A and B are shown apart, each in its own frame.
Chain A
């Protein structure tokens, strides 16, 4: 089973949930920028949520399914069509042999996730299929997809076969879409102007009183310097009460750093393992999907919550995802 890439789009890469266990060797965690959308896409087609999918950025690819395939598309609305007919997001769908998935303008969000039953089958590199382009690791030969690439698909698990069989009845032409999916109520509140919840960082209290106020009262914008490694923000210039001489230590997905210029950077999936800038805050994990769907020019605000609250929200989100998984398993129990 294969997918044929006719054109690759702006930046389409193979991603899973990241490469853990090798940060000691300087290898970034990487993985899907919007892990929620990635996991939902996997669950909708009956995959393990760690199976690899395609992360599609702003300008989508054109992909031909060489066999009948069970797929799901989640995350950003990039005007996806199957043979010209609108493709619904957050739903499982069976596409027929020879059909083409293509995209047009980005309507909402920045990153879409395409899961196929069985997962994208590229070799595991250091325990993950995620593409880390800077070091040429993982994914399709360590790089973004190109036109002409042919991607192998893994063997679909029994659950995928049952989901596909249920969808195929009755046949509906080139695509059969499920009547159920991940509804808006169970998704993060995606918006192009979110209020992002922060947890205090090691150096939050080193900010000048004025900067501390501006961090939560000001409006920030994503600068053009945003990629999978980090987002540089524009907006109020922040400053510390006095300069800090720091030595490099670990950073995480969501760490907000303050370089000397005063424009904060939020570290994202492909961040380096360590950093030496002051860490003025950390994005709550539950809001990382909202960050991942922003594009340059989008505005955002910040508010602080406690670490306890951030973990309460995290556990609640994990419970919801587990419930979706159970519901899909129950619905397709033999």
Chain B
């Protein structure tokens, strides 16, 4: 593990160099340990695939009670190192499983047939493979509520579209390369759209705002249009 400066108000704690579950577990262990300690000066932690960033205010890092003067970054790095001692003993943080119902194909998944054709599969087979996967949310980023999911079956990994769409509807489910995920907001996007969920991935006045959190397991479940409409109506009604 290495603690490196990211400018004059942040550190990056590097715990690995690859995207895999072992590295991810260490990221979560670091995050859980740091969040359990109130380290003065720290504003927030940002976990990613293989690192945890520490954003801090140098003016709020307390001075050492005695000894020579030093910069805030020196003092905070010492505090972070101390907090992370004997991390191997840390219990693994519990993991939730988020069920994401998806209505595949049709208007909601205009690229499903293309994805199937590319892999010489039937659209139903693509759906079956996608909905039987066990996905892990490595990190949330790029836009509010966008979970970066690992675990897509290589049989349906599909390059991004050559021409990105300018307006992908919110809650669209897509495949881009070896990643799959749900667009949280209306946005431009190059993923192949295979379906849509009636859930909202990001709602600012919900707690937590992001449906999927770092470390959550995600399962997609195929639903028919009638069930989508019923769930969507229930959501709109505020249930």
Contacts and interface: CB of A to CB of B under 8 A. Distances in A.
B10 A311 contact: no
Contact of A202 (B6, B44, B59, B145): B6
Given A314-B58, A318-B59, A248 B7 contact: no
B9 A274 contact: no
Interface string A2-40: 000000000000000000111111111000000000000
A129 to B, nearest CB: 12
Interface residues of A, number: 43
B8 A250 contact: no
B72 interface: yes
Given A20-B44, A255-B7, A314-B59, A25 B72 contact: no
Contacts of B193: none
A315 B58 contact: yes
A249 B50 contact: yes
Contacts of A136: 185
Given A25-B140, A26-B145, A252 B204 contact: no
Contacts of A308: 71, 73
A307 B76 CA distance: 13
A140 interface: no
B198 interface: no
Given A26-B140, A135-B143, A272-B141, A255 B71 contact: no
Given A274-B48, A312-B71, A20 B6 contact: no
Interface in A95-142: 125-126, 134-137
Interface string B1-17: 00011111110100001
A62 interface: no
A41 interface: no
B141 to A, nearest CB: 4
A252 B10 contact: yes
Interface stretch (B97-105, B159-167, B206-214, B225-233): B206-214
Nearest to B8: A310
Nearest to B211: A25
A254 interface: yes
A248 B51 CA distance: 9
Given A199-B8, A255-B6, A255-B7, A311 B209 contact: no
Contacts of A249: 12, 48-51, 53
A79 interface: no
A315 B60 CA distance: 10
Nearest to B11: A250
B87 interface: no
Interface stretch (A50-58, A163-171, A175-183, A277-285): A277-285
Interface string A300-321: 0000000110111011001000
Contacts of A283: 7
Contacts of B10: 250, 252
Nearest to B70: A308
A311 B73 contact: yes
A273 B46 contact: yes
Given A135-B143, A247-B18, A126 B48 contact: no
B205 interface: yes
B190 interface: no
Contacts of B45: 24
Contact of A199 (B7, B17, B44, B55): B7
A314 B8 contact: yes
A119 B162 CA distance: 47
Contacts of B9: 252-253, 285, 314
A28 B74 CA distance: 27
Contacts of A255: 6-7
A138 to B, nearest CB: 8
B53 A135 contact: no
Interface of B: 4-10, 12, 17-19, 43-51, 53, 55, 58-59, 71-73, 139-146, 148, 184-185, 187, 202, 204-205, 208-210, 213-214
Interface of A: 20-28, 125-126, 134-137, 199, 201-202, 247-255, 272-274, 279, 282-285, 307-308, 310-312, 314-315, 318
17 contacts: A21-B44, A24-B140, A24-B213, A25-B140, A26-B210, A28-B144, A125-B204, A134-B185, A136-B185, A137-B204, A248-B141, A249-B53, A253-B9, A274-B139, A274-B142, A284-B8, A311-B72
Which 4 residue pairs are nearest across A and B when measured between Cβ atoms? Answer: A250-B53, A282-B7, A25-B210, A274-B141
